[in-house]
Amino acid sequence: MKRSIEKITPRPARPGMVGDGFRVFNFIPGANISQRRISPFLLLDFNAEFDFGPSEKIRGVDVHPHKGFETVTIAYKGSVEHYDSAGSRGVINPGDVQWMTAGAGILHKEFHEKEFSKKGGPFEMVQLWVNLPKKDKSTPAHYQAITASQMGKAELPGNGGLVNVIAGVFNGVKGPAYTYSPVNLFDIRLNQDGELTTTIPAEQNASLLVINGSIEVNGKKAEEHSFVLFNNDGEEITIRATEKAVVLLLSGEPINEPIASYGPFVMNTQDEIYEAMKDFQAGKFGVLD
């Protein structure tokens, strides 16, 4: 049975800035989609293609904390450099993914990679926040650097395109990311008139973001930069590109636990939020210059 579509949300009228290096349109929870409705996903920010121009000053977001969830950054154009208090450092280039598990608490910072910043050029990224189950919120912080070459690769028939499987399983092809609850994350590259059909368990919350181009999904048109939220009433999803298109399809098994959030902390109760703030102020998240 095909999944029906609950709603298609166009790109918000105005972007917001995260630091001085990320010009983002917020879809979760900004598109009137509650964190509980789209669990385990807490946030989706889309930096639609934008040229910040060459700069000697490296743009980005300086040191800040996270606790209780994961951040996933997907690079489409441009390069980002990451540093954290667990000692991880890495650069993600187009096609790469940075998957950071904040868990028990971490400090990190993200900036445009130095050489990219000097030259300027198109910059296009997605950042997701993925919740952690209560039992995993105190897991030690760690980092998965997933390069484009490490992705699961699913070639579509008839020169339809390619699916890069970041997490979960697409039509038998497995992605490399380790997740704490069932999550599918598919970077879909479709040629014009390319088509795919896949199944997502009905109990998983599912949505997609049209990064570039335009598509028809389960018979409905979705324009560039629109966000599609599916109902939980079927399993089958069919996507056809009306022009060359890039699509991010995400789904996950809901975490049916209370959500208490305050800025960069996501826990289960308000008392746990206060505890997270105390831990941060006491320096328990480590040190990062």
In terms of DSSP bridges, do strands 227-230 and 205-212 run parallel, antiparallel, or are they unpaired? Answer: antiparallel
Check whether the bond before 40 is cis (ω within 30° of 0).
Answer: yes
Residue 267 forms beta bridges with which residues?
260
Q: Which residue is associated with the tokens 């959030």?
A: 261
Distance, CA of 160 to CA of 140 (rounded, Å):
41
Report pLDDT digits (tens) over 136-164: 999 999 999 999 999 999 999 999 999 99
pLDDT at res. 258: 97
CATH code of 5-252, in short, is 2.60.120.10
Burial of 30 (0-12, 13-18, 19+ CB in 10 A): middle
Mark the ranges of the chain whose per-residue pLDDT is less than 70. none
pLDDT at res. 204: 98
One DSSP character per residue, 60-89 reads EEEEEEEBSEEEEEEEEES-EEEEETTS-E
Domain chopping of the chain, boundaries: 5-252
Report pLDDT digits (tens) over 250-284: 999 999 999 999 999 999 999 999 999 999 999 99
In terms of DSSP bridges, do strands 161-167 and 183-190 run parallel, antiparallel, or are they unpaired? Answer: antiparallel
pLDDT at res. 32: 83
User: Are 222 and 6 within 8 A, CB to CB?
Assistant: no
pLDDT at res. 123: 98
Three-state SS at 129: strand
pLDDT at res. 30: 86
In terms of DSSP bridges, do strands 215-217 and 183-190 run parallel, antiparallel, or are they unpaired? Answer: unpaired
Count the alpha carbons within 13 Å of 243 in the hemisphere toward its beta carbon. Answer: 8
Residue type, 136: D
Cα–Cα nearest to 204, from 184, 178, 180, 190: 184
Q: Which residue is associated with the tokens 């746990």?
A: 272
| pTM, to two decimals | 0.97
Give Cβ neighbours of residue 202 (< 8 Å, ≥ 6 apart).
3, 232, 233, 234, 235
